[in-house]
Chains A and B, each alone.
Chain A
Amino acid sequence: MNASDSDEELYNERSALVPSENPEVPSYRPDPDHSPTEDSDSKTTGFSRRTRPGGGSEREAEPEEEEEEELPLKYGAKHVIMLFIPVTLCMVVVVATIKSVGFYSEKTTQQLIYTPFTEDTPDVGRRLLNSVLNTVIMISVIVVMTILLVVLYKYRCYKFIHGWLILSSLMLLFWFSFMYLGEVFKTYNVAMDYVTVAVLIWNFGAVGMVCIHWKGPLALQQAYLIFISALMALVFIKYLPPWSAWVILAAISVYDLVAVLSPKGPLRMLVETAQERNEPIFPALIYSSAMMWTVTMANPADDQPSETDEEAELSGRRAEPQRRQPGPILEDELEEERGVKLGLGDFIFYSVLVGKAAATGGDWNTTLACFVAILIGLCLTLLLLAIFKKALPALPISITFGLIFYFSTDFLVQPFMDNLVNHQFYI
């Protein structure tokens, strides 16, 4: 099924949070890794997400602010909240869909081509083996894609990458949204004709493409990115076999850690290449919470290739003009306006975890526990970002906490709470 191909591509990467170093450095740090989906051969456009956050996160650790203890902490807290809100929204959309639309949580015999081994065996050992094999296949596909991406980026095949990205978002915004809308209508038994649906999907998709790849109000762009991450997460929840999904989540966090932090990791190489070239990040792969990066982008480097100029100009224009003051901008204003960036892959995997907790448990306590665990993990990651000030993977800590809390709540806390609620005991 087509969805399977795109899923692969979709998942591209990681999210790393990259802090901006100092005020002179353009805050819009190109985000190399998240480039276009690695799936070049696949016909479906994968939607690559994630990416590492471009340097947007201004961590409060700017030298000027070190004297004041509270101010940095407040800026840091503001950035954390700027990420909490979209992550929460994405998770809410996924959980609401899972709980109301039965399609995404019903069992299916169709599987992604990346997870060919079936989990329908009664033997536990065999099932475990199959999940591990599925995971190995999936992770190796991702590794291959990432390396392909790095190669493409290094050899400056920007047009190819762009085309790929556009195809991916087309697929997500039109095809997957159409499927989603169809399922929602089926669930609520709404009678609908094709003409109306065509108009709706056309408008939704076209505006989405414009907002994401070109210019648009920041809030609308953020909303679209959140929605497509949620869609992707729903597809994963539906088509990944249960045990494989958990093993994949664990393996992806490990991969994220390795790829971003190890010296030869593809993502790290991507980040470094992008930083050397001082290039802006490709749109549609990361979520960014603020918009001010025009000032530095207004003067793109002279020796940049033409595409980068276009991009720079585009991204420059995309940042809304209300903040655009070509004159000197105070350091702290710049600080205030820069935002934090998180790769869409992170959104997707967080939502997959919470969505699976909602789908398989049927129980709200598990979902809530995973939700809180992921938010705390994100908070810790941002704290580490403030301390280390370099690209960091955002998946490991949150997914680890999420997995620990999922399994422990499901097996330990749930029976305890069930018994308490039966007797109406309160703790």
Chain B
Amino acid sequence: MTAAVFFGCTFIAFGPAISLFLFTIAREPLRVIFLIAGAFFWLVSLLLASLVWFISVQISNKESASQQKGLLIFGVVLSVLLQETFPAFHEVFKCFFCFFVLVSGLGFGFMSGAFSVVNILADSVGPGTVGIHGDSQHYFLSSAFMTMAIILLHMFWGVIFFDGCEKRRWFVVAAVVVSHLVVSCLTFQNPQYVSSLVPTYIIMLSMGIWAFYTAGGSLRNLKLCLTCKDKDFLLANHRPR
């Protein structure tokens, strides 16, 4: 495990998120605050889920490995559900800030990604051998890719969920919750990375497209943006600070 692994995995996992942060959030103080608020709410939901898991572990049979694994799965599902309840609180702020939802979704994603991968990254700097007991050699790389997908997914889910809440389209909200559960359950198949990573990325792409259309994007906008002909976009980004 070398510096190359560390830097490579860090940039894979956090690259898109950090560039999103730098280009859209870092300039506006209010958005940074909402990013941190999003991270905070994710932490609170994780705390509650861990509390429940911890209590259930204490009252269960500690020797049985399968029971422990079952409890872990239960913990995962519970925490996913808890995470989905928190964006509902954001309804309160919707009148003021349009970018708010994206930002807080990114905050959720950042925290989620950070909690999943930071310890792994820290370990990758030190000495060791990956998979010495017969585990997969691709542990670090797959963790990094999974983290990137999760961060972007949280952001997309935030946008779609919020839009669903606003328009009272409950099937949209349910779809977000279900897809979150599906993605988490897919990870139960690790270390068969093909069966977990590939569907996750497919889901991420589809959620991304859905979120894009939800937020008002269209092919026309995309074309204008890419060819730098979108006057509104250009004006907006060259406004005096």
Q: Cβ of A78 and Cβ of B29 under 8 Å apart?
A: yes
Range of interface residues on B (Cβ < 8 Å) = 35 or more
Main secondary structure of the interface of A (DSSP, over half): helix
B46 within 8 A of A: yes
Contacts of A80 in B (CB 8 A): 29, 33
Contacts of A1 in B (CB 8 A): none
Q: Cβ of B190 and Cβ of A376 under 8 Å apart?
A: no
B30 within 8 A of A: yes
Q: Mark interface residues in B39-53 (1 if CB within 8 Å of A CB, else 0).
A: 110010011011101
Contact of B80 among A69, A379, A427 (CB under 8 A): A427
CA distance A409 to B40 in the complex (A): 13
A417 within 8 A of B: yes
Q: Cβ of A379 and Cβ of B36 under 8 Å apart?
A: yes
Contacts of A363 in B (CB 8 A): 119
Chain B: minimal CB distance from A268 (Å): 29
Contacts of A416 in B (CB 8 A): 49-50, 53-54, 75
Chain B: minimal CB distance from A132 (Å): 27
B183 within 8 A of A: yes
B139-179 contacts to A (CB < 8 Å)? 139, 142-143, 146-147, 150
Chain A: minimal CB distance from B99 (Å): 13
Contacts of B37 in A (CB 8 A): 376, 379
CA distance A77 to B33 in the complex (A): 7
Q: Cβ of B115 and Cβ of A417 under 8 Å apart?
A: yes
Question: From B26, which residue of chain A is reached at the shortest CB distance?
Answer: A81
B116 within 8 A of A: yes
A383-421 contacts to B (CB < 8 Å)? 405, 408-409, 411-413, 415-417, 419-421
Contacts of B184 in A (CB 8 A): 425-427
Contact of A412 among B36, B50, B147 (CB under 8 A): B50
A322 within 8 A of B: no
CA distance A216 to B184 in the complex (A): 54
Contacts of B43 in A (CB 8 A): 369, 372-373, 405
A271 within 8 A of B: no
Contacts A73-B30, A74-B29, A368-B115 given; does A423 touch B72 at CB 8 Å: yes
Contact of A364 among B54, B96, B119 (CB under 8 A): B119
Q: Cβ of B54 and Cβ of A412 under 8 Å apart?
A: yes
Contacts of B50 in A (CB 8 A): 408, 412-413, 415-417
CA distance A409 to B28 in the complex (A): 30
A49-75 contacts to B (CB < 8 Å)? 69-70, 73-74
Chain A: minimal CB distance from B204 (Å): 12
CA distance A80 to B30 in the complex (A): 9
Contacts of A424 in B (CB 8 A): 139, 142-143, 146, 187, 190-191
Q: Cβ of A427 and Cβ of B79 under 8 Å apart?
A: yes
A181-229 contacts to B (CB < 8 Å)? none
A84 within 8 A of B: yes
Contacts of A81 in B (CB 8 A): 29, 32-33
B69 within 8 A of A: yes
Q: Cβ of B29 and Cβ of A376 under 8 Å apart?
A: no
A365 within 8 A of B: yes
Contacts A368-B118, A369-B43 given; does A426 touch B150 at CB 8 Å: yes
Q: Cβ of B29 and Cβ of A365 under 8 Å apart?
A: no
CA distance A187 to B118 in the complex (A): 23
Contacts of B146 in A (CB 8 A): 424, 426
Chain B: minimal CB distance from A225 (Å): 21
Contacts of B53 in A (CB 8 A): 416
Contacts of B142 in A (CB 8 A): 424
CA distance A368 to B36 in the complex (A): 11
CA distance A373 to B47 in the complex (A): 13
CA distance A416 to B43 in the complex (A): 13
Contacts A77-B29, A416-B54, A425-B187 given; does A365 touch B76 at CB 8 Å: no
Contacts A372-B36, A409-B47 given; does A419 touch B72 at CB 8 Å: yes
A and B contact pairs by CB, cutoff 8 A, 8 listed: A77-B29, A80-B29, A372-B43, A379-B36, A379-B37, A421-B119, A424-B190, A427-B83
| B residues in contact (CB < 8 Å) with A | 28-30, 32-33, 36-37, 39-40, 43, 46-47, 49-51, 53-54, 57, 68-69, 72-73, 75-76, 79-80, 83, 96, 111-112, 114-116, 118-120, 122, 139, 142-143, 146-147, 150, 183-184, 187-188, 190-191
Kindly list 12 other residue pairs between chains A and B, CB separation below 8 angstroms, not including A413-B50, A423-B190, A425-B190.
A73-B96, A77-B33, A364-B122, A376-B40, A379-B36, A417-B116, A420-B75, A420-B76, A424-B191, A426-B184, A427-B46, A427-B184
Which 6 residue pairs spanning A and B have beta carbons closest together? A424-B190, A77-B29, A81-B29, A77-B30, A416-B50, A412-B50
